[in-house]
A and B are shown apart, each in its own frame.
Chain A
Amino acid sequence: MRPDFLNGIRFTDLTWAGAGPFGTKVFSDFGAEVLKIESMSRPDPVRRGGPYKDGIQGTNRSGYFASRNTGKQSIALDLKQPEGLEIALKLIAQSDVVSNNFGPGAMERLGLTYDAVRAVKPDIIYLSMPMYGEDGPLSTLLGVGMTIAAVTGMMWMTGYGNGEKPLGPGTHYPDHAANPYHAAFAVLAALRHRRHTGRGMKIDLSQVESTGNFVGASLYEAAVHDREPEHPGNRSRGDAPHNVFRCAGNDDWCAIAVDGDGEWLALAAAIGRQDLATRPDLRKAAGRLAAMAELEAAVTAWTTQRGAAEAASVLQTAGVPAARVSSARDLVEDDAQLRARDYWQTIDHPEMGPSLFTSPPFRIDGERLELARPPLFGEHTEAVLSGLLGMSHDAIADLAERKILA
Chain B
Amino acid sequence: MSEQFRPYSGIRILDLTHDLGRYATRLFADLGAEVIRIEPPGGLPDRARETDAVPGGAETFAFHNASKQSRVLDLAGNEGRAAFADLAREAQVVVMERGGPLGADDTAWLRGLNPTSVIVHVSPYGLGGPLEGAPASDLTLQAAGGIAWMTGRGEEPPLRLPGGQAAMITSVYTGVATAMCLMDAELRGRGHILDVSAQEAIAHSLQNAIQVWDLERRISHRAGEGTRDASENIYECIDGHVFLASPPTTGVSWKSLLGWMRECGHPSVEAFSAPEWMDRKARSTPAARAAFKPLFEAFTRGFTKDELVENALKRRIVMSQVSKVHEVLGDKQLAYRDYFVTLGEGGPRFPGAPYKMSEPVWRVSPPPALGQHDQRS
Interface of A toward B, CB cutoff 8 Å = 3, 5-6, 18, 26, 30, 49-55, 63-64, 66-67, 114, 132-133, 135-144, 146-147, 149-160, 165-173, 175-178, 181-186, 188-193, 196-197, 199, 201-206, 208-210, 212-224, 226-231, 233-234, 236-238, 242-246, 253-257, 259, 263, 316, 319-332, 336-338, 340-341, 343, 352, 355-356, 358-366
Q: Which of A171, A244, A316, A364 contacts B194 (CB 8 A)?
A: A364
Complex contact B161–A154 (CB within 8 A): yes
Complex contact A359–B60 (CB within 8 A): no
Complex contact A341–B128 (CB within 8 A): yes
Q: Assuming A173-B147, A191-B183, A217-B56, what are 15 further A-B pairs, CB within 8 angstroms?
A: A63-B211, A135-B336, A150-B322, A153-B328, A156-B325, A158-B161, A208-B334, A212-B339, A212-B352, A255-B140, A316-B134, A328-B206, A336-B131, A340-B128, A362-B177
A66 contacts across to B, CB distance below 8 A: 211
Contact with A along B156-194 (1 / 0, CB 8 A): 111111111100110011111101110110100000111
Complex contact B312–A142 (CB within 8 A): yes
CA distance A336 to B134 in the complex (A): 13
CA distance A361 to B196 in the complex (A): 6
Complex contact B163–A154 (CB within 8 A): yes
Counting chain A CB atoms within 10 Å of each CB, which of B165, B209, B351 scores highest? Answer: B351
Q: Which of B173, B253, B352 contacts A361 (CB 8 A)?
A: B173
A256 contacts across to B, CB distance below 8 A: 140
Complex contact A316–B135 (CB within 8 A): yes
A365-B193 contact in complex given A222-B329, A242-B139, A326-B144, C-beta closer than 8 Å: yes
Complex contact B309–A141 (CB within 8 A): yes
CA distance A166 to B243 in the complex (A): 11
Complex contact A364–B54 (CB within 8 A): no
CB of B332 within 8 Å of the partner chain: yes
CA distance A161 to B197 in the complex (A): 29
B residues 211-250 near A (Cβ < 8 Å) are: 211-216, 218-222, 224, 232, 234, 241-243, 245
Sorted from nearest, which 5 A-B pairs have the closest CB atoms? A63-B211, A361-B200, A181-B172, A340-B129, A255-B143
**Count of residues in B whose CB is under 8 Å from the partner chain:** 142
CA distance A362 to B179 in the complex (A): 13
A325 contacts across to B, CB distance below 8 A: 143, 148-149, 157-158
Complex contact A158–B162 (CB within 8 A): yes
A189-B60 contact in complex given A51-B215, A242-B139, C-beta closer than 8 Å: no
CB of B55 within 8 Å of the partner chain: yes
Complex contact A151–B328 (CB within 8 A): yes
Q: How far is the CB of B255 from chain A (nearest CB, A)?
A: 13
B149 contacts across to A, CB distance below 8 A: 325-328
Q: How far is the CB of A387 from chain B (nearest CB, A)?
A: 24
Complex contact A244–B125 (CB within 8 A): no
Stretch among B75-83, B270-278, B353-361 lining the A interface? B353-361
Complex contact A244–B143 (CB within 8 A): yes
CA distance A326 to B146 in the complex (A): 5
* 27 A-B pairs with C-beta separation under 8 A: A5-B184, A136-B336, A150-B320, A156-B323, A166-B322, A173-B205, A176-B205, A178-B168, A178-B172, A193-B7, A212-B334, A212-B351, A218-B56, A218-B163, A219-B350, A221-B59, A222-B326, A230-B56, A233-B159, A243-B157, A244-B157, A244-B159, A327-B146, A343-B200, A361-B203, A363-B127, A364-B177
Complex contact A188–B176 (CB within 8 A): yes
Complex contact B126–A142 (CB within 8 A): no
CB of B136 within 8 Å of the partner chain: yes
B327 contacts across to A, CB distance below 8 A: 153
Q: How far is the CB of A271 from chain B (nearest CB, A)?
A: 16
Complex contact B219–A329 (CB within 8 A): yes
- When C-beta atoms are compared, the residue in chain B nearest to A175 turns out to be B207
B60 contacts across to A, CB distance below 8 A: 217, 221
Complex contact A204–B355 (CB within 8 A): yes
